[in-house]
Chains A and B, each alone.
Chain A
Amino acid sequence: MSRRHQNFRNYRQEQRLTQHRVIAAAILVLLMVIALMARLFYLQVIEHEIYQTKADDNRVMLSTLPPPRGLIYDRNGLVLADNRPIHSLTVIPERVEDLPKLKQTLSNIIPISDIEWQDFEDRRKEYRRPYQSLTLKSQLTDKEWAKIAVDLYKLDGVQVEAQLTRYYPYGEAFAHAIGYVGRITSADLERVDRLAYQGALFIGKTGVEGFYENTLFGEAGLSKAEVNARGRIMSELERQNPTPGKDLHLYLDARLQQYAYDLLGDYTGSVVAIDPTTGGILALVSKPGFDPNLFVRGISYDSYSELRESKKLPLFNRALRGGYPPASTIKPFMALAGLEYGFSSWTERYFAKGYYQINPDGRRYRDWKRTGHGWIDLERSIIESVDTYYYQLAHKMGITPMHNFLSRFGFGQSTLLDLHGESHGILPSSEWKKAKYKEPWYSGDSVNVGIGQGFMVATPIQIASATSALASRGRYFHPRMTNTVGDVPAKFESGPGDRDDIILKDQRNWEKIVEAMRKVITDPLGTGRRLRGGDYSIAGKTGTAQVFSLQEDQEYDAESLVKRLHDHALFIGFAPTEAPKISMFAIFEHGGSSSKPADLTKKLFDAYLYDDYPARYDYLKGNKNEG
């Protein structure tokens, strides 16, 4: 067909046409190659560093090696916070063919909760290095571990990994003092080095565990390894071994702590014992406590709500945060204030009726003894705890000298060196009242403060440390938990000398006030005469705090309401009076008579000073003196 037209075809022109097209194609090829080279230039030169980093991230697996956590010992070398090996179930998702099936298989062996599975699934979907194992169930029980171990060989990608976990052998009596570690939350990660905590299971939350987190944690080690895409380690490039956390040696005496806890009986309350020569806390009890081990495992919602909703407030650290009126335990301090500022003297006598009035027709401030005490002096006002004496003294003095003097003992301030969360209490002043209530200070306010009531609120740790200062005749040590860190004495940013020792105008007043407090025990009319009998002398002061703030939790049934109205029973004391080795504050909430804390104090003093513990506490003896 077309051959007929051949003669008319212009072959040269057709050749030129196709040649032009070849040239056009060549130009196109060049342009596209330039585009490719530009792309390569962009990736390899301009964005080189980004990809270099990505390649290194791929190649180099940085893993932190969690250091073993420092142990916490009591003064006798008993381990209060220990490390125990636990086993966790981990899964490498890439090695598992059928995850839902695996869940089923595992569930048939050990319980896997939906929450655990969901957690696992969530973490699996995050961007991560392939072939890295993810924890499915942490802290297997021995039984679970044994059950899994049997079938492990047929479960591809499933491993049991061993780690160290925290263990508190002595439970609830120590929970508020030692604190506990718990799962690391995102809030925790804000304030610590994320890399260091990468492999860590938990972090100190409260108590000593919380305060000394950095010391106890140690320093995480680092392993830099070259890995291939399947997560297999080809070679270790660099390794920095972890530095174990340092051990803490506390002043705490485990037997004393447990004994005090038990002596509180069914009462809620607090006991704080301090060594006045060091400020070291020998016992720090807040009852009820709780099992700190619950928090280590990651407390279940149910257990937590049970603790939170308990009317006895077991999670509330009364020793540090409980606000109580110091009541008559304030009287020795008030007496010293009166002497210091010249509002009273040892010789001046005062006729104590059953009440005190600011104005002749005004309100009657009643003494605990309705009949009154008759003619008394300052010493006797302490021995018999004469309220009216302190009403008139406070009235005369006014709030400012009281405030100034009491603040030298640490009232209204935080005093603890090495625990977080201490409450300041309230040491009232006229400025304070103006700021808080927008009202002036009235004489009646002073009168109430005179016997440690009214606006005054103090925490057990405050009263105990003030008592300790009294016991050491004005030598002031901030209370502290820790004696040595590792083998080195604990260092504190603020320490002894940070607050001045209390120097009185007449230093002989220390001995006299101690003598008055000794007579609280020995005098036939002394309010602490129950403590008599012992071959060492005790100084003390009772207190009974009226309960008038019911605001916090009002829902109480009739039965507990009755108890609720009972006064708090308080006692401060120290022994031996000549050279005190232990000073004490104890409070039984709604304990009624102060005989309960007084008895407790006596028993604890006997125990501490003469090693006179009931045999059942032998297990807390520690081994410092043995072998």
Chain B
Amino acid sequence: MKDSLYHRAVSFANARLWQLVHVDILLLGSLLLLISGGLFVLYSASGQDVAMVERQIFRLAVGMMVCLALAQLPPKYMRRASPTLFILVTFLLVGVLLFGVGAKGAQRWLPLPGGLRFQPSEIMKIVMPMMIAWYFSDRQLPPTFKQILAVLALIVLPVLLVAKQPDLGTSILVAVAGIFVLFLAGLGWRYILGAAALAPVAGYVLWQFMREYQRQRVLTFLNPESDPLGTGWNIIQSKTAIGSGGLYGKGWLEGSQAQLDFLPESHTDFIIAVLAEEFGMLGCAVLILAYLLVIARGLYIAANAEDNYARLLAGSLTLTFFIYMFVNIGMVSGILPVVGVPLPLVSYGGTSIITIMATFGILMSIQTHKRAR
């Protein structure tokens, strides 16, 4: 009895402690599982480049700090700041088009003093759902037709600005983040089905606006063998890596596709192929399970959030995270066209780690700032 009481007391104290420092221990645990697994794969994918892994760890650490910092910020402040942030980031996107720097014909970064630069489109992935959630926060759900139109208008401008950089992948993710809020807010099923019916038309319109290289990617996606040495090379090689991994994989650091450089971008967008080759289907299942844990916790937080704003934002952020993973694995395994989307928290590099970790900070904040009932 004494023991049991003692234990209950300790676990109560611990729960309170996490509540106190605004950390969601389940979410954090799932994230750490995912991240540590990812680092193993990255070590192999980078050709055992310790320096690269260290840089990734540093980046993840910075992301974790951002996460924990944001977790301290009560959701109500976020809600209040949402419109301001939205306007600010939209202006920054305009700024990117005017003063942006970049590479390969794309302008995605704003230069900062000291040689640093950052990518406003990344921030838009968070600010967009914040804005729409804010919009619905004191309106009655489900949305009226007028409200739907208003929301779509809010979505269109930043999406176009990002698409103009051009960055098709990010602009789609920004749009998706906004549309998820709409969905969670109770967008009528008939609208959803109607939109699905209109998808071919949208596809045609999109095709008209696409650049040549983007069209080429779609064509290559439809028939990668048509250009085996050019644009089809990546997808052929990644499918080969995945398929040759089999059920159990060839073993860590033993994947010939990855280790002998047949797999392009093996440490960035195509890193899942390295995992699939070296750890097989089993490894993939474990990774996807880790993702599912994170996503499940995110959706749980969303479902149990205090108010509409928190629910919609948490849900949208979680689903966007899922879409990231789905699009990446889908493109690497050849069921989606190649759009430059990294595998979240596993792919090497970039701004996206910080924004994704920020996302989880917001989720933790939502979960830990609930008033006690």
A interface with B by C-beta (< 8 Å): 2-3, 5-6, 9, 14-15, 17-19, 21-23, 25-26, 29, 32-33, 35-37, 39-41, 43-45, 47-48, 50-52, 54-56, 58-59, 127, 130, 226-230, 234
Query: Cβ of B100 < 8 Å from any Cβ of A?
Result: no
Given the complex, which residues of B lie within 8 Å of A36, measured CB to CB? 288, 326, 329-330, 333, 335
Identify 14 residue pairs between A and B in the complex whose beta-carbon atoms are under 8 Å apart, listed by A's number. Answer: A14-B140, A14-B141, A25-B184, A25-B319, A29-B299, A33-B288, A36-B335, A40-B276, A40-B281, A44-B242, A54-B243, A54-B244, A59-B257, A229-B260
Return the 10 tightest CB-CB contacts between A and B, nearest first. Answer: A51-B243, A55-B244, A228-B260, A229-B261, A59-B256, A43-B243, A44-B281, A51-B244, A22-B303, A54-B240
Q: Mark B330-352, 1 if CB is under 8 A from A, else 0.
A: 10011100000000000000000
Name which residue of chain A comes closest to B142, CB basis.
A17
- Inter-chain contacts of B139 with A (CB < 8 A): 2
**Interface locus among B21-29, B113-121, B307-315:** B307-315
Whether a CB of chain A sits under 8 angstroms from the CB of B95 is no
Contact B295 A29 (CB under 8 A): yes
Q: Kindly state the separation between the CA atoms of A9 and B308 in the bound complex, as whole angstroms.
A: 12
Find the B residue at minimum CB distance from A44.
Answer: B281
Check if B40 is an interface residue, CB within 8 A of chain A. Answer: no
Shortest Cβ distance from residue A116 to the other chain B in the assembled complex, whole angstroms:
22
| B residues in contact with A9, CB < 8 Å | 140
Cβ-defined contact, B315 with A21, below 8 A: yes
Q: Which residues of B contact A226 (CB under 8 A)?
A: 256, 260
Q: Which of A26, A39, A52 has the most CB of B within 10 A?
A: A26
CA distance A50 to B245 in the complex (A): 11
* One of B240, B302, B308, B319 near A58 (C-beta < 8 A): B240
Report how far A37 CA is from B292 CA in the complex, Å. 13
> B251 contacts the other chain (Cβ, under 8 Å)?
no
* B59 within 8 Å of A (CB atoms): no
In whole angstroms, how far apart are the Cα atoms of A54 and B257 in the complex?
A: 10
Question: Residue B276 contacts which of A6, A44, A130, A234 (CB distance < 8 angstroms)?
Answer: A44
Residue B262, interface by CB 8 Å: yes
Within the complex, which residue of A21, A52, A234 is in contact with B184, where a contact is CB–CB below 8 Å? A21
CB pair B242–A59 under 8 Å, yes or no, is no
Q: Which of B141, B280, B284, B330 is within 8 Å of A18, CB to CB?
A: B141
Q: A54-B243, A55-B240 are in contact. Are A25 and B299 (CB under 8 A)?
A: yes
**B256 surroundings in chain A (CB, below 8 A):** 55-56, 58-59, 226
Inter-chain CA distance A227–B256, complex, in Å, is: 10
A48 lies within 8 A of B246 (CB): yes
Cα separation A48 to B240 with both chains bound (whole Å): 9
How far is it, in angstroms, between the C-alpha of A17 and the C-alpha of B311 when the chains are bound?
11
In the bound complex, CA of A9 to CA of B138 (Å):
10
CB atoms of B308 and A25 under 8 A apart: no
Question: B183 interface residue, CB < 8 Å from A?
Answer: yes
Q: Distance (Å) between the CB of B311 and the closest chain A CB?
A: 5
Q: Which residue of A is nearest B280, CB measured?
A: A44
Interface residue from A17, A29, A43 paired with B239 (Cβ < 8 Å): A43
B299 pairs with A22, CB closer than 8 A: yes
- Return chain B residues, CB-CB under 8 Å to A48: 243-244, 246-247
Residues of A within 8 A of B102 (CB): none
Given A2-B140, A43-B333, A51-B243, also A127-B228 (CB < 8 A): yes
B185 within 8 Å of A (CB atoms): yes
Q: Which of A22, A44, A54, A229 contacts B311 (CB 8 A)?
A: A22
Tell yes or no: B324 within 8 A of A by CB: no
Partner of B315 from the list A25, A47, A127 (CB cut-off 8 Å) is A25
In the complex the two chains form, what is the Cα distance from A32 to B325 in whole Å? 11
- Chain B 209-242, CB-CB to A under 8 Å as 1, else 0, gives 0000000000000000000110000000101111
Contact B138 A52 (CB under 8 A): no
A22 touches B281 (CB 8 A): no
**Contacts A36-B330, A39-B335 hold; do A227 and B260 have CB atoms under 8 A apart?**
yes
A18 and B186: CB pair below 8 A?
A: yes
Question: B140 contacts A40, CB within 8 Å?
Answer: no
Closest residue on chain B to residue A28 by CB atoms? B319
Interface residues of B in 143-157 (CB under 8 A from A): none
B150: shortest Cβ distance to chain A, in Å? 13
A9–B262 CA distance with the chains assembled, in angstroms: 60
| Chain A residues within 8 Å of B241, by CB | 51, 55
Kindly provide the distance from the CB of B176 to the nearest chain A CB, expressed in whole angstroms: 12
| Complex: A9 Cα to B185 Cα, angstroms | 15
Minimum C-beta distance from A472 to chain B (A):
66
- List residues of chain A with CB within 8 A of the CB of B183: 21, 25
4 additional contacts (CB under 8 A) given A48-B246, A51-B240:
A9-B140, A19-B303, A52-B244, A228-B262
- Closest chain-A Cβ to B323's Cβ sits at a distance in Å of 9
Report the minimal beta-carbon distance from B304 to chain A, rounded to whole angstroms. Answer: 8
Of B243, B302, B319, chain A has the most CB atoms within 10 Å of the CB of B243
Docked-complex contact A32 and B326, CB < 8 angstroms: yes
B311 and A15 contacting across the interface, CB-CB below 8 Å? yes
> Min CB distance, B331 to chain A, in Å?
11
Taking a contact as CB atoms under 8 Å apart, the answer to whether A21 and B240 are in contact is: no
**Which chain B residue lies CB-closest to A8?**
B140
Q: Does B285 contact A (CB under 8 A)?
A: yes
A25–B182 CA distance with the chains assembled, in angstroms = 12
B260 near A44 with CB under 8 A, answer: no
Residues of A within 8 A of B281 (CB): 40-41, 44-45
Q: Is B322 an interface residue (CB 8 A)?
A: yes
* Complex-state Cα separation, A229 to B256, whole angstroms: 10
Chain B residues lying within 8 Å of A45, measured Cβ to Cβ, are 246-247, 281
Given contacts A22-B184, A40-B284, contact A234 B243 (CB under 8 A): no
B296 within 8 A of A: yes
- Determine whether the beta carbon of A130 is less than 8 Å from that of B229: yes
Write the nearest CB–CB distance from B301 to chain A, whole angstroms.
10
When the two chains form their complex, are residues B247 and A44 in contact, meaning their CB atoms are under 8 A apart?
A: yes
A548 and B218 CA atoms in complex are apart in Å by 75
Residues in chain B near residue A33, CB distance under 8 A: 288, 292, 326
C-alpha spacing A228/B228, complex, angstroms = 17
Tell me the complex Cα distance, A3–B137, Å. 11
Q: Which residues of A contact B292 (CB under 8 A)?
A: 29, 33
A37 contact set on B, CB distance < 8 A: 284-285, 288
Q: Is the CB of B244 within 8 A of A18?
A: no
Q: Which residues 266-292 in B have Cβ within 8 Å of A in the complex?
A: 276-277, 280-281, 284-285, 288, 292
- In whole angstroms, how far apart are the Cα atoms of A48 and B228 in the complex? 20
Given A5-B140, A25-B184: A18 and B311 within 8 A (CB)?
yes
Q: Which residues of B contact A5 (CB under 8 A)?
A: 140
Q: In the bound complex, do residue B333 and residue A39 qualify as a contact, i.e. CB atoms below 8 Å apart?
A: yes
Residues of A within 8 A of B296 (CB): 26
Q: Do the beta carbons of A51 and B242 come within 8 Å of each other?
A: yes
Question: In the complex, A55→B258 CA distance in Å?
Answer: 10
Residues on A with beta carbons closer than 8 Å to the beta carbon of B186: 17-18, 21
Known: A26-B296, A29-B319, A54-B243. A18 touches B333 (CB 8 A): no
Tell whether A23 pairs with B329 under 8 Å between CB atoms, given A33-B288, A59-B260, A226-B260.
no
Residues of B within 8 A of A228 (CB): 260-262
Q: What is the CA–CA distance of A44 and B248 in the complex, to the nearest angstrom? A: 9
Residues of A within 8 A of B315 (CB): 18, 21-22, 25
Residue of A33, A43, A48, A58 with most chain B CB atoms under a 10 A cut-off: A43
Report yes or no: A58 in contact with B140, Cβ–Cβ below 8 A.
Answer: no
Which chain A residue lies CB-closest to B329?
A: A36
- Whether A3 touches B333, Cβ cut-off 8 Å, given contacts A18-B312, A26-B299, A29-B322, is no
Q: How far does the Cβ of A473 sit from chain B's closest Cβ, in whole Å?
A: 71
Task: Kindly state the separation between the CA atoms of A538 and B231 in the bound complex, as whole angstroms.
Answer: 80
A26 to B237, CA, bound (A): 32
Min CB–CB distance A318 → chain B (angstroms): 52
**What residues of chain B lie closer than 8 Å to A47, measured between beta carbons?**
243
* Minimal beta-carbon separation of B138 from chain A (angstroms): 5
A229 touches B280 (CB 8 A): no
A284 vs B312: C-alpha distance when bound (angstroms)? 97
Q: Which residue of A lies closest to B241 (CB)?
A: A55
**Nearest CB of chain B from residue A26's CB, rounded to whole Å:** 5
